Amino acid sequence: MLYINCPHCGMRSQNEFSYGGDASVKRPELNKEVSDQEWDDFVYNRKSLRGKHLELWQHISGCRQWIKVERDTSTHEIFRTFKADEKVA
Amino acid sequence: MQKYSIFNLVKNAFSNHENWDLAWKDPTPKEEYDVVIIGGGGHGLATAYYLAKEHNITNVAIIEKGWIGGGNVGRNTTIIRSNYMHDENGLFSEFGMDLWRKMSQDLNYNVMFSPRGIINLAHSDAQMNAYARRGNSMRLNGIDAVLLNREQVKEIIPMADFSENVRFPIFGGLMQPSAGTARHDAVAWGYARQADSMGVDIIQNCEVTGFDVVAGKIKGIRTSRGNIKAKKVGICVAGSTNILAEKLNMTLPIETHLLQACVSEPVKPVLDNVVTFGAGHFYVSQSDKGEMVMGGDLDGYNSYAQRGNLPTLQHVLTEGIAMMPFLSKLKMLRTWGGIMDMSMDGSPIIDKTHIEGLYLNCGWCYGGFKATPASGWTFAHTIAQDRVHELNAGYSLNRFSTGNLIDEKGLGTKTWIS
């Protein structure tokens, strides 16, 4: 069982959360000419890092907020959690 | 190579079975090969075998980080099927079914192929319609499919829950009678033994640490046991695909996820077929030893851990008990996990890359094991001829940017969309 420290609600079990994937992926800017390659990278292509991975989770059975979680993909250790709009240093 | 036969079995019995040849050698890597296959799993071993057998290319090495058969080919739930609706998947898998039927004779190794049939259960009228459509598509591609009504399903699997007032009543199901199971380890060992006998070097405990690419052309690989030159390199590493792609500065439409499976204690024969739950993601069959072999959803987050987590297992088995209540009485014997190369449309990639002489085989999602022979056969063709075969033409790497996705179920890595 993973325990995720929701920045809004505190430590909760993974059962309350839903996974949202790589948090480093950025949507191409609005009103800008976007190449096929840029769309491709946004929609499909992923680094899928082994080791430290910054990812999105939604506290779906809690506050329903999206949060960022820094987690190790080979040990499942969770290091830090952030609010969705918080800067990750 | 010593042939496995009843005659040789008896002969070796007189010497207490101490004089059998090694099934495959343990060579030190040569300086150069015509083809290097990275990954000694089912697909890699099959690729090397078909390179030697179909294309007469025997100066081949398989480079395996661990030991052969220690990854997903030894961790799957052994299901073999071709019950796909789309042409790309259906024709590819049905080609594989033919190879499965001949495999034990072809490899001189009993892979215990058991065409016991697979039944996908339907739990609504809409699902019955969808299955009728899929069944018709399958039959148009020459794949056997039978639409079963509730009574027919009850006759085949009476232990499923046919009681009143269940949350997901069984309306019927789609059966592919020629689908089945095989012994997964034997598949890896059979391919390894034959490939080795034709001159392929199987190099275990050898991790690939980098690639030598000069002017857009592959020249060789760097490994924990030294540099190896190669004219062509095939990557066939399932859940480790992204790790190697990073060394090549490639970003792929693949995420690595964790998938669990489990077996119960062995019980007397109760289930003849492979059965899948239609209102969730759960499948079960009974092994020759009597264990109920079960699996279902991904754990749901990126992982390289090769070990699962309890919430997903609980979720999957809840579905199993909803489908077959007697499962709740069984004790769990083992659970384990493997890491899947989940492609974004749920279908695989077997293609050339932008680097000349470098070939990619990945994206097998939930269905890598059954694809082993067809994947090896088409990947060998792609490498040997430097062009894709018509069977894997749809499994292109650029289909994501061109929009030619094969959305068989449209699942991919986003399991919550199901």
Among B243, B244, B303, most A C-beta atoms within 10 A, so best to mutate, is: B303
Q: Give the residues across from B203 on adjacent strands.
A: B63
**Domains (range + CATH), chain A:** 3-83 (3.30.2270.10)
| Nearest beta carbon to residue B400 from set A44, A73, A76 | A44
Residues ≥6 apart with Cβ < 8 Å to B119 = B148, B153, B156, B157, B173, B174, B175, B273, B274, B275, B276
pLDDT value, residue B414: 67
Residues in A closer than 8 angstroms to B246, CB to CB, are: 47, 49
With contact defined as beta carbons under 8 Å apart, do B235 and B38 qualify? Answer: yes
How far apart CA B252 and CA A45 sit, in angstroms, is 5
Which chain A residue lies closest to B310 (C-alpha atoms)? A1
Per-residue burial over B304-341, b = 16 or more CB atoms within 10 Å of its CB, e = otherwise? bbbebbeebbebbbebbebbbeebeebeeeebebbbbb
CB contact under 8 Å between A19 and B255, yes or no, is: no
pLDDT value, residue B140: 97
pLDDT lower than 70: segments of chain B: 410-418
CB contact under 8 Å between A76 and B302, yes or no, is: no
pLDDT value, residue B408: 84
| Nearest beta carbon to residue A48 from set B256, B311, B401 | B256
Identity of residue B190? G
Q: Checking DSSP bridges between strand A66-72 and strand A78-83, what pairing results, if any?
A: antiparallel
pLDDT value, residue B418: 42
Identity of residue B132? A
Residues in B closer than 8 angstroms to A21, CB to CB, are: 255, 302, 413-414
pLDDT value, residue B155: 98
pLDDT value, residue B410: 59
Q: What is the pLDDT of residues A29-86, one digit of tens each?
A: 999 999 988 999 999 999 999 999 999 999 999 999 999 999 999 999 999 999 999 9
Residues in B closer than 8 angstroms to A15, CB to CB, are: 311
Query: Which segments within B241-353 are labelled E, that is strand?
Result: 254-264, 274-277, 282-286, 292-302, 332-343, 349-352
User: Mind telling me how many Å the CA of B254 is from chain A's nearest CA?
Assistant: 6
pTM metric for this prediction: 0.96
pLDDT value, residue B411: 66
